[in-house]
Each structure stands twice: as structure tokens, then as C-alpha cells.
Amino acid sequence: MPSGSVNSLVTAMALVAALHGSCARAAEVVTVYLDQAKIITIPQTTVTVVIGNPLFVDASMLRSSGKLVLTGKGYGETNLVTLDKNGETLSETTVRVLPGGTNLIVQRGVDRESYICNPRCQPTVSLGDSTKYMGETSGQIASRNGAANAANAPR
């Protein structure tokens, strides 16, 4: 191969590597687990936070701290954009919401039930559970929480 071709090839490979590296940094991905909160750092000059699809994740900015609390609300992937006071984009991040690691899914035909197992399996509700199972389990959770609130109420 002529030396000019080798130099051109090396230059092209270096350019591709540099572009790939900058793209990898620009496409930051933050993973949040369903029904859990995660604190991330955002630019200090952030005034506005935009969530592409609020069905997947909720965001609460902690004032003047450069921190943002993300809470997973639904499975999926969306983007998060931070803006300064002039509306200029400061950062863009992909947010991916995944199920937690201790869930057990029981599939009975078309009906699905979710359990949290740590160390024993207990019923819980999760997106995708059958309507009947979710209603019964949610009702039990609400009853338990009501009893706990009544017991803790001032007398």
C-alpha cells in the first residue's frame, strides 16, 4: 500500500475514533428502577428540567444544589433535558426505567402476579399485573396503610 494511502487510512481511523468517543460521551444513560428514586447531578445553572415522557420518570429539582431526584414510574426509556435561564440546552441525558432486581413474576396463562423476594416472597403490584391481582393486592396495601395511620394518629 502506498504511504499516502496508509497516512489517509490512519487519519480516517483517528477521526472515526475521535467522533465515536465524543458520541459516547454525549449519549449518557442513567438507569432508574421502577418505584425507586435516584439522585443525579445536573449543571448548576439549570433553571428548567424537561422530561420527554413523564409516564416513565418523574423529576424533582433540588433548589440551588445542582441535584435532581428521578423516580421511576413506568418501564421504558425517555430523555431528560436541562435548560439555563435563556432556554439554552445545558445537557441531555437518556433515562432508562427498569424493574428492580428482587422481583419474581408468576405468569398463569394471561394473568400475571408480582412478588418482592428478599428473603421471603411477598405480594406487590407492578405494571403488567392482572387487573384482579392488582386490585386485591392494592386493597390489602391500602388497608394496612390505613390501619398504620390510624394507630399513629394523635389522640
Mean predicted confidence (pLDDT) in 21-29? 56
Q: Are residues 36 and 89 in the same domain?
A: yes
Q: Are residues 84 and 52 in the same domain?
A: yes
Q: Are residues 57 and 72 in the same domain?
A: yes
- The DSSP result for the chain, as a single string, is --HHHHHHHHHHHHHHHHHHHHHHHHS-EEEEEBT-EEEEE--TT--EEEES-TTTEEEEEETTTTEEEEEE-SSEEEEEEEE-TTS-EEEEEEEEEE--TTEEEEEETTEEEEEEESSSEEEE--TT--HHHHHHHHHHHHHHHHHHHHHHS--
Q: Are residues 48 and 68 in the same domain?
A: yes
On the question of pLDDT at 26 being above 60, the answer is no
Within-domain flag for 130: yes
Within-domain flag for 10: no
Within-domain flag for 65: yes
Q: Are residues 45 and 83 in the same domain?
A: yes
Q: Are residues 85 and 45 in the same domain?
A: yes
Q: Are residues 48 and 93 in the same domain?
A: yes
Q: What is the pLDDT confidence band of residue 23, given thresholds at 50, 70 and 90?
A: very low
Pull the grid cell for residue 103.
Answer: 422481583
For position 119, what pLDDT does the model report? 79
For position 4, what pLDDT does the model report? 54
pTM for the model stands at: 0.64
Within-domain flag for 21: no
Count structural domains, the chain.
2
On the question of pLDDT at 16 being above 50, the answer is no
Nearest to 127, CA basis, from 52, 35, 60, 59: 35
On the question of pLDDT at 75 being above 70, the answer is yes
Q: Are residues 93 and 132 in the same domain?
A: no
Within-domain flag for 46: yes
Cα–Cα distance between 10 and 64 in angstroms, integer?
A: 47
Q: Are residues 83 and 125 in the same domain?
A: no
Query: Could you tell me the residue range of the domain that residue 135 belongs to?
Result: 103-148
Cα–Cα distance between 27 and 22 in angstroms, integer?
A: 9
